[in-house]
Structure 1
């Protein structure tokens, strides 16, 4: 079931779209805090965004740019503004399509189905979840990046894979063999010190964003990631 994030401040339009889209088995999420739409987007991790231009605090162009810093999720602008310049700005700021209000629901539905099919369906190159949020830490799988408290850094592919495995098994012990098998095809040819070196690198990278002592060594067993951050 696809999740659609509706960024709109007109309650009537929100209720109309929510009612109609849910009839077609879409999950519809709406904005709760217009001051930090990016944080809500990251938390919800939707498959598609429907975005108005005229919004409280900051306009839709701003929030489109903000979303594009963390995701390639398809964004369809829906606005009463009909000038060519508005449509050009929507595309230049990262939008995928533009619908002018008042709109036909059949047209909206067709555009939603089309962009979802291109992005996740039969025409898509890949289908994956881009962002994982675990206890306030954000993992960007597309970018091999990690973020905590607005501090974001890129990791090497192996560093990210190690962190991802440990974070998604938070508080559990992950054996050395499991980590080695996930990262290297043939563990017989991997020096035992190689994993320790990579773990040390991940610890240092976490310190760079303000997370300390989170990866614990469990002697004779493996490693465990515990929550040491606020």
Structure 2
């Protein structure tokens, strides 16, 4: 069952979309706190996002850029804005498609099915999938999944990037600057706490698949993957 997240501040439109999508068997989550869009995104990990432009606090362009930092999932803008530049801005900020209001529910469904096919189905890229493996720990970067033994956990794009760096550097230390350079554009300001927050999230993902103390902090240098559990078995 594909998971779809709706980011729309008009309750009537939200309920209309939700009811129609659920009728076709999709699992739907509707954002209600528009200051916490990414919190909901990380909790749900949707396969597709329907995103309005005119939203409280920050507009849809902003939230699409935030999503693109973590995920390549399809984003379809749904907006009352009909200007050509609005549609250009949507694509330039990471959107995959654009639907103008008022809209036909069947058009929305057709575009959703098309994007899901392109991203995950019959039209998805057929190039060989990358797989990174170290001592029983397997990362699927494009699939955003991490597997150990019989346990599998879903990842955000940032989490996958951090784990990929740790696995590629193992048994060496992955420096803090190296991780920051991989995760964020060098022109963007990132405070020191941002990497710490993401490392904490990655540690929790390891714990979900039964691995405690999987990341070792090397003071003054960075982080090192700890895969000594394989030797201890």
| Contact 2:78–2:98 under 8 Å retained in 1 | yes
1:26-41 correspondence runs (5 A):
26-41=26-41
Give the corresponding residue for 1:19.
19
1:4 correspondence with 2:20: no
How far does residue 140 in structure 1 lie from its aligned partner after superposition?
4.4
Give the corresponding residue for 1:47.
47
- Return the TM-score normalized by structure 2: 0.65
Q: Distance in 1 between matches of 2:38 and 2:218?
A: 24
User: What SS does the aligned partner of 1:203 have?
Assistant: strand
Give the corresponding residue for 1:203.
216
Flag the structure with larger Rg.
1
Listed as ranges, the gaps of 5+ residues in structure 2 are: 130-141, 147-153, 172-201
User: Which one of the candidate residues 144, 159, 162 is aligned to 1:130?
Assistant: 144
User: Which one of the candidate residues 168, 175, 178 is aligned to 1:157?
Assistant: 168
How far does residue 5 in structure 1 lie from its aligned partner after superposition?
0.4
How far does residue 61 in structure 1 lie from its aligned partner after superposition?
0.3
User: What SS does the aligned partner of 1:21 have?
Assistant: helix
User: What SS does the aligned partner of 1:50 have?
Assistant: strand
Q: Distance in 2 between matches of 1:122 and 1:206?
A: 47
Q: Alpha carbons of 1:159 and 1:56: their partners in 2 closer, same or farther (altered >3 Å)? A: farther
Of residues 29-38 and 44-53 in structure 1, the stretch that sits farther from structure 2 once superposed is 29-38
CA offsets, 1:185-216, max 9 Å, x none? xxxxxxxxxxxxxx7xx51469977x99x969
1:145 correspondence with 2:161: yes
- Return the TM-score normalized by structure 1: 0.66
Would you say how many aligned residue pairs link Structure 1 and Structure 2?
182
How far does residue 171 in structure 1 lie from its aligned partner after superposition?
5.4
CA offsets, 1:130-158, max 9 Å, x none? 277xxxxx9546874239xxxxx943436
User: What SS does the aligned partner of 2:216 have?
Assistant: helix
Runs of 4+ in 1 over 6 A off after TM superposition: 205-209, 216-220
